């Protein structure tokens, strides 16, 4: 039998089991499925709410999602209506080369009252084709989505087109940490998308001596595409390397084959010589990227059985050189 700490009463108020009296005749309901719960207030086990024995098919993930969404929304609304602050703490600095890198030097943070920038708070209100768990807005062009993640993150398209705070919930206490302490970008349960960052080089930062490695795509002078890792300190050396036509840093939030595809497309836009088999190595006959574009090499005429021959397109007999 699933044990829950929280339920709701007939007025949709969130009730902590520790506030329930043994002699109470009030009925309580599941925040996840809406069915009636029983308050278990024994002397041996930890107090909790539970479904009746014949109603145990409630999904605990739905419960966590609905509880977290409800609790955070009610808290934000209470703060707004009582002129209280709700803080968000952002990392003030970021690496000049990648948002994904962790650097011990970039620890400076700045705290803001999130509600100072948004006039209205809604629960599950549509914005175009999107319906965030919680919407903060002050006009049609300034929206912030707060998404509760128990199992499924936001889609790539949603992350690309909107300002989003994702809050990952594993248990009931996670959401109360957010309610009590605010949203902190350094919290492992928090991810931010499309927040403007102040790119400020730390006084201790010296990228010319930085030994942190980062993924990179390189287009050589011969048209071959290579992928690997490089130390940030070595990046300036590539700028003047005559054996390199172009390079770009790898975005770790996107699949490697799609990163490579986008890099090849960018190279073709600049009319650079590209002989690419790298995508073939990371593709198969029926693999497509999110836009349903086939992600084989741009000008590959290989047979199906020859798709994965290696990385050196310049030596591939199946490569077609005509434009």
Picking from 141, 183, 152, 150, the residue whose alpha carbon sits closest to that of residue 165 is: 183
What global pTM score does this model have? 0.58
- 97 neighbors 230 (Cβ within 8 angstroms): no
In a domain, 201, yes or no: no
More reliable by pLDDT, 303 or 108: 108
Picking from 265, 266, 255, 249, the residue whose alpha carbon sits closest to that of residue 289 is: 255
In a domain, 19, yes or no: yes
State how far the Cα of 150 lies from the Cα of 110, in Å rounded to an integer. Answer: 28
- 147 neighbors 167 (Cβ within 8 angstroms): yes
* 45 and 76 together in one domain: no
Name the phi and psi angles at 144, rounded to 5.
-125, 125
* 154 and 217 together in one domain: no
State how far the Cα of 101 lies from the Cα of 98, in Å rounded to an integer. Answer: 6
* 167 and 232 together in one domain: no
Phi-psi domain of 140 (left: phi exceeds 0; alpha: psi -120 through 50; beta: other): alpha
* 220 and 142 together in one domain: no
How far CA 53 is from CA of 2, 49, 270, in Å, comes to: 10, 12, 67
The pLDDT of residue 251 is 64
- What's the total number of domains in the chain? 3
* 43 and 74 together in one domain: no
Confidence class of residue 141 from pLDDT cuts 50, 70 and 90? confident
* 82 and 186 together in one domain: yes
Cα radius of gyration (the chain): 26
* 180 and 231 together in one domain: no
DSSP state letter for 86? -
- 285 neighbors 292 (Cβ within 8 angstroms): no
Confidence class of residue 192 from pLDDT cuts 50, 70 and 90? very high
* 139 and 155 together in one domain: yes
Half-sphere exposure of 10 (CA within 13 A, CB side): 3
Confidence class of residue 35 from pLDDT cuts 50, 70 and 90? confident
In a domain, 321, yes or no: no
The pLDDT of residue 314 is 47
* 244 and 216 together in one domain: yes
* 186 and 81 together in one domain: yes
Mean pLDDT of 103-120: 83
pLDDT tens digits, residue range 211-234?
Answer: 888 888 898 888 888 888 888 888
In a domain, 286, yes or no: yes
In a domain, 181, yes or no: yes
Picking from 118, 96, 121, 117, the residue whose alpha carbon sits closest to that of residue 106 is: 96
Q: Exposed/middle/buried for 48, CB within 10 Å: 0-12, 13-18, 19+?
A: buried
The pLDDT of residue 182 is 95
State how far the Cα of 171 lies from the Cα of 68, in Å rounded to an integer. Answer: 9
The pLDDT of residue 149 is 95
The pLDDT of residue 306 is 47
Mean pLDDT of 63-85: 94
State how far the Cα of 234 lies from the Cα of 209, in Å rounded to an integer. Answer: 9
* 303 and 239 together in one domain: yes
Q: What percent of the chain has pLDDT over 70?
A: 75
In a domain, 103, yes or no: yes
Q: What percent of the chain has pLDDT over 90?
A: 27
Residue range of the domain that includes 165: 64-193
In a domain, 202, yes or no: no
- 320 neighbors 301 (Cβ within 8 angstroms): yes
The pLDDT of residue 287 is 44
The length of the chain in residues reads 323
The pLDDT of residue 284 is 41
In the chain, % helix, strand, coil (3-state, to 5) comes to: 25, 25, 50
The pLDDT of residue 161 is 82
pLDDT tens digits, residue range 150-182?
Answer: 988 888 889 888 999 999 999 888 999 999 999
In a domain, 322, yes or no: no
Confidence class of residue 57 from pLDDT cuts 50, 70 and 90? confident
Domain end (from 143, 170, 193): 193
In this predicted structure, the answer to whether residue 11 has a pLDDT above a threshold of 50 is: yes
In this predicted structure, the answer to whether residue 187 has a pLDDT above a threshold of 60 is: yes
The pLDDT of residue 98 is 72
State how far the Cα of 202 lies from the Cα of 213, in Å rounded to an integer. Answer: 18
Domain end (from 58, 78, 97): 58
Domain end (from 137, 160, 193): 193
In this predicted structure, the answer to whether residue 122 has a pLDDT above a threshold of 80 is: yes
The pLDDT of residue 291 is 52
Mean pLDDT of 101-115: 79
* 260 and 309 together in one domain: yes
In this predicted structure, the answer to whether residue 76 has a pLDDT above a threshold of 90 is: yes
Helix (H) or strand (E) holding 120: strand 120-123
Q: Exposed/middle/buried for 26, CB within 10 Å: 0-12, 13-18, 19+?
A: exposed
pLDDT tens digits, residue range 229-282?
Answer: 888 888 888 888 999 999 988 766 566 667 777 787 788 788 887 776 655 554
């Amino acid at each position: 039998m699933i044990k829950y700490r929280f339920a709701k009463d007939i007025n949709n108020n969130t009730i902590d089991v520790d506030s329930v009296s043994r002699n109470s005749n009030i009925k309580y309901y599941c925040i996840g499925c809406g069915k009636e719960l029983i308050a278990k207030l024994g002397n041996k086990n930890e107090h909790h709410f539970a479904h009746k024995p014949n109603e145990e098919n409630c999904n605990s993930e739905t419960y966590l999602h609905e509880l977290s969404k409800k609790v955070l929304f009610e808290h934000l609304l209470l703060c707004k209506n009582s002129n209280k602050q709700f803080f968000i703490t952002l990392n003030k600095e970021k690496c000049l080369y990648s948002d994904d890198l962790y650097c011990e030097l970039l620890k400076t943070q700045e705290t803001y009252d999130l509600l100072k920038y948004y006039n209205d708070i809604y629960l599950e209100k549509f914005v175009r084709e999107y319906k965030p768990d919680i919407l903060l807005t002050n006009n049609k062009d300034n929206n912030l989505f707060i998404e509760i993640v128990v199992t499924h993150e936001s889609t790539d398209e949603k992350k690309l087109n909107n300002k989003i705070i994702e809050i990952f919930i594993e248990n009931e206490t996670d959401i109360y940490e957010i309610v009590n302490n605010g949203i902190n970008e350094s919290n492992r349960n928090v991810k931010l998308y499309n927040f403007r960052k102040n790119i400020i080089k730390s006084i201790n930062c010296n990228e010319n001596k930085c030994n942190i490695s980062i993924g990179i795509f390189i287009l050589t002078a011969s048209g071959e595409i290579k992928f690997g890792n490089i130390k940030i300190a070595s990046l300036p050396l590539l700028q003047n390397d005559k054996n390199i036509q172009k390079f770009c840093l790898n975005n770790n939030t996107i699949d490697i084959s799609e990163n490579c595809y986008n890099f090849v497309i960018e190279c073709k836009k600049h009319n650079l010589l590209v002989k690419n088999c790298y995508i073939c190595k990371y593709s198969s006959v029926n693999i497509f990227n999110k836009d349903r574009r086939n992600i084989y090499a741009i000008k590959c005429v290989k047979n199906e059985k020859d798709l994965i021959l290696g990385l050196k397109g310049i030596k591939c007999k199946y490569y077609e050189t005509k434009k």
